[in-house]
Structure 1
Amino acid sequence: MIRTTFFATALCLFAPVLHAEVVGKVGVDWFGNDIIIESINDPKVQGVTCHLAYFERGIIDRLQQGNWFEDPSNSSIACTQTGPITMGDIKRGKGGEEVFRESQSIILKSIRVTRVYDEKAQTLIYLAHGSEVSKGSAKTSISAIPLYQAK
């Protein structure tokens, strides 16, 4: 019991602060698998909201398939202007800046949202991608917001 409590506390201390709100949960089968939809406000760009959808395995699927502590890192993203856009101090390099991260396993896998600024096209690009410690992931989805009159 003490080890479990210590482990849970340690995970909470090192977990990133999440800026997401679950706005939808769609059941996809009788195994309890769901698609979760979260709303994410960009903390450095006011007026932009992204919606991230990802798969969450149910308990029956976990028992049947194994990998008890993992969800697939598949995701989809759509971002939209939800008010006047005001850009804060964002990273403008080609590598972009992580906006959001959510774990899909205890340690090794997560879904991330990275913002990339295309200065020439005056566009913010939001990339949802899986990240694994042991190998990369080709599972990606993007959404773009034009900055016609952003401050």
Structure 2
Amino acid sequence: MLKTTALKTARRALLCLLPLPLALPLHAEQVGEVGVDWVGNDIVIEAVADPEVEGVTCHIAYFERGLIDRLSKGNWFEDPSNASIACRQTGPITIGDIDRDEDGEDVFSTSRSIILKSLRVKRIYDEGNQTLIYLAHAAELADGSAKLAVSTVPLYGTEVTWKD
């Protein structure tokens, strides 16, 4: 029984490691930081440009724990999974070689803990409604996370250029 549980845990850890080399090392530019309490916890706001869709920028807001909070509550190496996202057209839209499958593709990923927890942004193209969907979600080793946020960029009525 113990051997089976250890094997399942090892297999789960290995499966979580597989996508790591595929995560895109995109640069997010911090554009804001709001202090929320006296123990140094902050809300950080970053701007991320979609690398395959010129003219679209996503703003991601997430909670970052301060030193006092880490000292008082333990769990030194992990930040909460909560995140908010808003994506908008910020210039002429030129769409490159994007994945048009239903499961979309990762646009951005950043670590939220020292071990296997990340905040990811995935783009999904809704061809029928001519809309780009951006989903922010946490990827965690154990049980995943139900904390997510979604934003859309409608393409209808917008002059869109497709790269060949």
Q: CA RMSD in A?
A: 1.6
Instruction: Tell me if the contact between 1:76 and 1:141 (Cα under 8 Å) persists in the aligned partners.
Output: yes
| 2:52 equivalent to 1:44 | yes
Identity %: 67
Q: Deviations over 1:73-120 (max 9, x none)?
A: 100000100001110000000111000001000122111000000000
SS of equivalent residue, structure 1 residue 50: strand
| Residue 93 of structure 2 corresponds to residue 85 of structure 1 | yes
* Preserved contact between residue 23 and residue 109 of structure 2 (Cα < 8 Å): no
Partner SS, residue 99 of structure 2? coil
Note the residue ranges of structure 1 that are not aligned, 5 or more in a row: 1-12
Counterpart pick for 1:131 among 133, 139, 142: 139
- Show the counterpart of 2:111: 103
* Whole-angstrom CA distance in 1 between matches of 2:38 and 2:150: 30
Secondary structure in 1 matching 2:84: strand
Equivalent pairs counted in the alignment come to: 139
The 1:131–1:31 alpha-carbon spacing in structure 2 relative to 1, beyond 3 Å, is same
Task: Name the amino acid aligned to 1:54.
Answer: Y
Query: Which residue of the partner structure matches residue 77 of structure 2?
Result: 69
State the partner residue of 2:153: 145
Deviations 1:54-82 (A, max 9, x none): 00000000011111000001000001000
CA distance in 2, matches of 1:14, 1:130: 16
In the alignment, does 2:34 pair up with 1:26?
yes
Query: Is the alpha carbon distance of 1:138 and 1:15 closer, same or farther for their aligned partners in structure 2, counting shifts above 3 Å?
Result: closer
For 1:92, the aligned partner's letter is R
Deviation, 1:39, is 0.2
Q: Distance in 1 between matches of 2:71 and 2:48?
A: 31
Normalising by the residue count of structure 1, what TM-score does the alignment of the two structures yield?
Answer: 0.88
Larger Rg: 2
Deviates more, 1:37-46 or 1:133-142: 133-142
Counterpart of 1:147, as a letter, is L
117-126 or 104-113, which deviates more: 104-113
Change (3 A) 1:138 1:121: same
Deviation at 1:18, TM superposition (A): 2.8
Distance in 1 between residues matched to 2:49 and 2:112, nearest whole Å: 20
Q: Which runs of 4+ in 1 moved over 2 A?
A: 13-16
> What code does the residue aligned with 1:106 have?
I
